[in-house]
Amino acid sequence: MLLLTDIGNTNITIALYGKSGVEQTLRLSTPAGEADAQEYTSILRSRFGSYLKQPLSGAVICSVVPQVTAAIKTCIRECFAIESIEVNAALKTGLVFQITAPHLLGSDRIATATGARSLYDGNLIILDFGTATTICALTAMGMYTGGAIMPGIGMSAASLQQGTAQLPAVDLSRPFTVPGKDTSENIRAGILLGQAGAVEKISSRIKSGMRGDTRIIMTGGHCGLMKEILSVDVVTPNLIFEGMKVIYELNS
């Protein structure tokens, strides 16, 4: 059993990964400032302590929030007496990074790309709908050739509300028509279809530079919303944890 921790800008998701894949998850809000290791230690012991029938074999942390990483590492050490592997481009991943500065690539993108490469053959385009929306390109030979980043759908909705005097907060999960019949429908249509259109345009440009068939994969916290309006080859919500599992196996 592995303990896998994804520290994102909005949420911290902690998963227990066993023989059948992800077996238990815990989602917490990412703190705005420094994290309290003792608080997370208490939470982990109460949530996972009774579930684990045998010691964990290892732990992996994928973090894009450095000020929280140390607290989570301390928490895991105190709870389970193991040291965590932190995802970065210097680890063994099975990928070759053909980008300018691999050490600056987000660990979440490294993990999802590793997971995608382990599950699927051929050229791959990975769409990750999280706090930010990211697009990553992988060749059939495992070359990570780059991608794109844009504000995520939640961030886009928040920016409209916070940056204007009269536009409201909206529930993006509610249905809408095009053209929208009220302000909320206008916002939902603009954000969701705008994301879909941008992603399709970028993916098409990437795909045109690849030789051979290319598979498009969707993942991330907002993929449940986007899969209803964006056509892709496969949706894999837990792709980041699949990648973290592979990284543990290659580096433990």
Active site residues: 108
Element (H, E) at 192: helix 183-208
Q: Are strands 214-219 and 123-129 parallel, antiparallel or unpaired?
A: parallel
- Compute the distance between CA of residue 167 and CA of residue 186 in angstroms, rounded to an integer: 10
Which residues does 201 contact at the CB level (< 8 Å), separation at least 6?
Answer: none
Query: Residue 137: which of 87, 194, 96 has the closest Cα?
Result: 96
Q: 109 in helix, strand or coil?
A: helix
DSSP structural state of residue 237: T
